[in-house]
Amino acid sequence: MHAASIRYRVAVGQGAGGKTLTLKNPALVRADSEPKPFTANWDGFSLNCAVACQAHQRDRLERLCWYITRPALCLERLSTNAAGQVVYQLKNPFRDGTTHILSSPQDFIARLAALVPRPRSNLIRYHGVFAPSSPMRQAIVPTTASLRQRRKHKSPTAASATLQSRPAEPPINNSDTPTAPLTWAHRLKRVFEIDITGHDLEAETITSPYESIRCAANARNAPIDTPS
């Protein structure tokens, strides 16, 4: 399924192994342009390394993290046609004028299944100087002690400039104990802009993702079933 997905081939069902159906607009066909700086193009894939963030540019780093962790599909551009095929509209047409990708419901589910990682597999792989066995990793990756020292000397004026829509961060712990992660209530506010203040479920009682889903559904008045 992985090979069929990246090669635009039908993975399962009728026509397995054949090319994926697409819709093209001849008026949008364009010639190959000069590669952008710090961009490599090879065999249909491109890699851009032109984006960089300084250590103090936290807002820019956050925007970059939001971009690289965006979902694989945009639901607003996903639909079905009269023939029962799943139609996905591309945000930007390909160079050959391709604007939409068509697939059967069965093949579409197979492509989604290819995105699901294996159970208990590490989703983050580090290479180069960030690799676990790199001799330079210790000089690049900040240690826990250096992070505590940085938070201890963080300017209070910088903290007050945080957007009001963002939830308050947990209090900074300058002791030798590890810093506590964000609570699920903070995550609901930060990611989905859902504030549970005033609801029956108190913020301190949310201790699992399933409880956060139920709370989010209550906040939006939408019933939802979660695993027991």
Helix, coil or strand: residue 214:
helix
Q: Does 121 reside within a domain?
A: no
Residue 165 has pLDDT above 50, yes or no: no
Helix, coil or strand: residue 148:
helix
Q: Does 155 reside within a domain?
A: no
Same domain, 102 and 180: no
Looking at the chain, the whole-number percentage of residues with pLDDT higher than 90 is 19
Same domain, 191 and 92: no
Same domain, 106 and 184: no
Residue 183, Cα to own-chain centre: how many angstroms? 20
Same domain, 13 and 108: yes
Looking at the chain, the whole-number percentage of residues with pLDDT higher than 70 is 69
Question: What local confidence, expressed as pLDDT, does residue 222 receive?
Answer: 53
End of a domain among 97, 115, 133? 115
Distance, CA of 29 to CA of 94 (rounded, Å): 8
pLDDT in tens, 46-75: 888 888 888 899 899 989 888 888 888 889
Q: Does 129 reside within a domain?
A: no
Same domain, 187 and 108: no
Q: Does 92 reside within a domain?
A: yes
Same domain, 11 and 82: yes
Evaluate whether 146 touches 55 at the Cβ level (below 8 Å). no
Length of the chain measured in residues: 228
Same domain, 7 and 88: yes
End of a domain among 93, 115, 137? 115
Q: Structural domain tally of the chain? A: 2
pTM (two decimals): 0.55
Report the range out of 32-36, 67-71, 178-182, 202-206 with the highest average pLDDT: 67-71
Q: Quick one: pLDDT band at residue 41, thresholds 50, 70, 90?
A: confident
Identify the CA nearest to 107 among candidates 84, 74, 75.
84
Q: Does 162 reside within a domain?
A: no
Identify the CA nearest to 110 among candidates 3, 219, 23, 227.
3
35-45 mean pLDDT: 80
Q: Quick one: pLDDT band at residue 103, thresholds 50, 70, 90?
A: very high
List the structure tokens of 114.
């290819």
Structural domain including 188 reads: 175-228
Computed over every residue of the chain, the mean pLDDT equals: 77
Q: Quick one: pLDDT band at residue 208, thresholds 50, 70, 90?
A: low
pLDDT in tens, 9-20: 898 888 888 999
Residue 38 has pLDDT above 80, yes or no: yes
Question: What local confidence, expressed as pLDDT, does residue 200 receive?
Answer: 53
Q: Does 158 reside within a domain?
A: no
Evaluate whether 137 touches 131 at the Cβ level (below 8 Å). yes
